[in-house]
């Protein structure tokens, strides 16, 4: 299978062919991880290759992901693994834009997740953090559990009877189609009550909270970019497009 990468250089358009297998590496090369590396220096892709592209331009390298109502599709994402560490201060940022703000969508979908791998015998849970869209606005929750094995009697989030705790970091942040937004998350993932997380969009502080904020798992948390829509579609023939650029993750000195 061949994948076409569109290269836009100095105002000219060039198309080159690349093996689909190279897409893992191509997306990875757009990341600034502050000297850190993922396994095999690649990303993990969960997306049909026809819905994923990388545009290399004179000024910016842009990764675009798409999602539609094709049968059995609920995600088009790539994951950055083995980089995020607990109890280690960090600063993480990226720019994103979408083809619509989907104000007509009463069902949520997400553009970014900070996720955690469950331990053996443990159910997959809702992400530690996720940038979600609903009714034309953005929101973000934070979930954590200090237990080694999470109790998930009522769904996989912070439902009644579950050991998972949660807080709403922000909601009702209006965003527009075809406009770039900068998201910055800084702080420390930890079970420590003194650990803090700050979330900004376009330099505006939307959340600044302290306290436990992650799951108690053996493996490291990981970052996911892309569209995740496990919810129903309001429009049958619509497509969600997400563009991301300037992805940076840097560890900070204690």
Q: What is the CATH number of the domain that holds 39?
A: 2.60.120.200
Query: Is residue 15 in some structural domain?
Result: no
Q: How many domains does the chain contain in total?
A: 1
**pLDDT at position 11, please?**
39
**pLDDT at position 158, please?**
86
Residue 38's domain spans which residues? 32-51+65-251
* C-alpha distances out from residue 133 to 146, 174, 177, Å: 28, 9, 12
**pLDDT at position 49, please?**
85
Query: Is residue 21 in some structural domain?
Result: no
**pLDDT at position 151, please?**
92
**pLDDT at position 102, please?**
97
Query: Is residue 232 in some structural domain?
Result: yes
**pLDDT at position 57, please?**
76
What DSSP designation does 232 have? P
φ/ψ bin of 18: left (φ > 0), alpha (ψ from -120 to 50), beta (otherwise): beta
Q: Which pLDDT tens digits describe the chain residue by residue (254 residues)?
A: 334 343 333 333 333 334 455 889 999 999 999 999 999 999 999 998 889 998 887 778 899 999 999 888 899 999 999 999 999 999 999 999 999 999 999 999 999 999 999 999 999 999 999 999 999 999 999 999 999 999 998 888 988 999 999 999 999 999 999 999 999 999 999 999 999 999 999 999 999 999 999 999 999 999 999 999 999 998 888 999 999 999 999 999 87
3-state helix, strand, coil in the chain (%, to 5): 5, 50, 45
The strand pairing partners of 142, in sequence order, are 129, 167
Query: Is residue 1 in some structural domain?
Result: no
Q: Are strands 196-201 and 75-80 parallel, antiparallel or unpaired?
A: unpaired
**pLDDT at position 104, please?**
94
Query: Is residue 24 in some structural domain?
Result: no
Query: Is residue 77 in some structural domain?
Result: yes
Query: Is residue 201 in some structural domain?
Result: yes
């Amino acid at each position: 299978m061949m994948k076409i990468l569109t290269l836009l250089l100095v105002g000219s358009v060039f198309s080159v062919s690349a093996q689909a297998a190279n897409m893992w590496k191509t997306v990875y090369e757009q990341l600034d991880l502050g000297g850190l590396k993922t396994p095999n220096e690649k990303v993990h892709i969960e997306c049909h290759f026809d819905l994923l592209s990388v545009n290399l331009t004179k000024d910016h390298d842009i990764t675009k992901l798409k999602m539609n109502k094709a049968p059995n599709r609920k995600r088009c994402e790539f994951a950055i693994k083995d980089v995020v560490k607990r109890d280690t201060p960090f600063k993480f940022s990226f720019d994103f834009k979408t083809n619509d703000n989907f104000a007509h969508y009463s069902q949520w979908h997400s553009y970014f997740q900070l996720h955690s791998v469950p331990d053996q015998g443990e159910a997959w849970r809702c992400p530690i953090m996720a940038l979600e869209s609903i009714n034309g606005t953005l929101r973000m929750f934070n979930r954590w559990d200090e237990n080694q094995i999470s109790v998930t009697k009522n769904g996989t989030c912070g439902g009644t009877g579950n050991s998972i705790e949660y807080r709403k970091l922000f909601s009702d942040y209006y965003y527009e189609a075809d406009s770039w937004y900068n998201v910055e998350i800084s702080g420390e993932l930890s079970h420590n009550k003194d650990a803090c997380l700050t979330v900004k969009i376009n330099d505006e502080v939307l959340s600044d909270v302290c306290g436990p904020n992650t799951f108690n798992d053996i493996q490291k948390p990981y970052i996911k970019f892309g569209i995740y829509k496990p919810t129903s579609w309001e429009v049958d023939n619509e497509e969600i497009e997400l563009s991301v650029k300037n992805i940076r993750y840097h560890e900070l000195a204690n």
